[in-house]
């Protein structure tokens, strides 16, 4: 395999192939995405997202980018924080996920102040230094070129702004690893088959978690992209982590 290849779960594939396959995964799971999140995390993903929103420090009147925003959970939390004088941009490369997020926010009555943009995280269609805060929640591991996406995030962040990466990470209690592996590779694909009619997509999601950079490596990647004062907050024994960095 050439070194230009990238990971798709445990496979190594050319970058265009990963982008195509990831699009297929989310086209397949969009309709049951939220239900599967609840089942996969036993509902704890909602707490993780609230913690990330708290760590964002977003205030009334600010402009926030919810990148790879999927079904709109983070956009809803940020919309409440920015109020009527602020804006939230919900961006996702996948049209099915973006439409799912738009419908959920409309149905929940929290769509005011939210804009929707189909955007590739590696090539953000926004002006330099546009946003007070950028958040990518459970999306970075699906990006083909993670370093390029972090650089794009830094480019469109205002001086004094902060970026947050909420993502599955590496356990801080190694003794839990066998149980975690059994859940990830045994239970999740079966849940995917039963609930979403798609075991392969959830097998990929479990594999993608294992291939994602650990806490220290992601911190260095953010620093290499230009972020300063990068901090890591482990949640649920490192099952997920929030990385926060600033553009000073």
Segment 35-48 shows an average pLDDT of 86
Segment 3-13 shows an average pLDDT of 89
> Residue 39: pLDDT above 80?
no
CA–CA gap between residue 70 and residue 102 (Å, rounded): 9
H/E stretch holding 13 reads: strand 11-13
Segment 14-24 shows an average pLDDT of 92
Write the pLDDT tens digit of every residue in 180-211: 999 999 998 898 888 778 888 889 888 999 99
> Residue 3: pLDDT above 80?
no
Q: What is the pLDDT of residue 200?
A: 87
Cβ–Cβ under 8 Å, residues 61 and 82: yes
Write the pLDDT tens digit of every residue in 110-166: 878 999 999 999 999 999 999 999 999 999 999 999 999 999 999 999 999 999 999
> Residue 2: pLDDT above 60?
no
Cβ–Cβ under 8 Å, residues 68 and 100: no
Nearest to 94 by CA among 131, 142, 130: 142
Write the pLDDT tens digit of every residue in 207-239: 999 999 999 999 999 999 999 999 999 999 999
Segment 25-31 shows an average pLDDT of 82
Backbone phi, then psi, for 168, in 5-degree steps? -60, 145
Band of the pLDDT at 17, cuts 50, 70, 90? Answer: very high
> Residue 31: pLDDT above 80?
no
Average pLDDT, the chain: 93
Percent of all residues in the chain with a pLDDT value above 70, rounded to a whole number = 99
Band of the pLDDT at 1, cuts 50, 70, 90? Answer: very low
Q: What is the pLDDT of residue 110?
A: 81
The SS3 call for residue 201 is helix
> Residue 69: pLDDT above 90?
yes
Domain boundaries, the chain: 6-246
Cβ–Cβ under 8 Å, residues 40 and 236: no
More confident of the two residues 100 and 64: 64
6-246 fold: Rossmann fold (3.40.50)
C-alpha 40: how far from chain center: 15
Percent of all residues in the chain with a pLDDT value above 90, rounded to a whole number = 78
């Amino acid at each position: 395999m050439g070194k230009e290849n990238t990971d798709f779960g445990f496979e190594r594939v050319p970058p265009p192939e990963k982008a195509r396959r990831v699009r297929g995964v989310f086209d397949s799971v969009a309709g049951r995405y939220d239900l599967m999140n609840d089942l996969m995390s036993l509902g704890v993903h909602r707490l993780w997202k609230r913690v990330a929103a708290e760590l964002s420090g977003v205030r009334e009147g600010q402009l926030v980018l919810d990148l790879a925003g999927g079904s709109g959970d983070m956009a809803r939390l940020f919309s409440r924080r920015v109020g009527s004088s602020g804006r939230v941009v919900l961006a996702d490369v996948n049209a099915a996920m973006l439409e799912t997020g738009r419908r959920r926010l409309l149905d929940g009555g929290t769509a005011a102040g939210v804009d929707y943009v189909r955007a590739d995280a590696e090539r953000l269609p926004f002006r330099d230094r546009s946003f007070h805060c950028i958040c990518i929640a459970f999306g970075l591991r699906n990006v083909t070129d993670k370093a390029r996406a972090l650089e794009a995030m830094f480019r469109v962040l205002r001086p004094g702004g902060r970026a947050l990466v909420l993502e599955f990470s590496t356990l801080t209690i190694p003794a839990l690893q066998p149980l975690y592996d059994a859940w990830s590779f045994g239970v999740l694909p079966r849940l995917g088959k039963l609930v979403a009619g798609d075991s392969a997509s959830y097998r990929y999601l479990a594999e993608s978690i294992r291939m994602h950079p650990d806490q220290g490596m992601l911190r260095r990647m953010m620093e290499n992209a230009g972020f300063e004062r990068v901090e890591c907050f482990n949640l649920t024994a490192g099952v997920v982590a929030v990385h926060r960095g600033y553009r000073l």
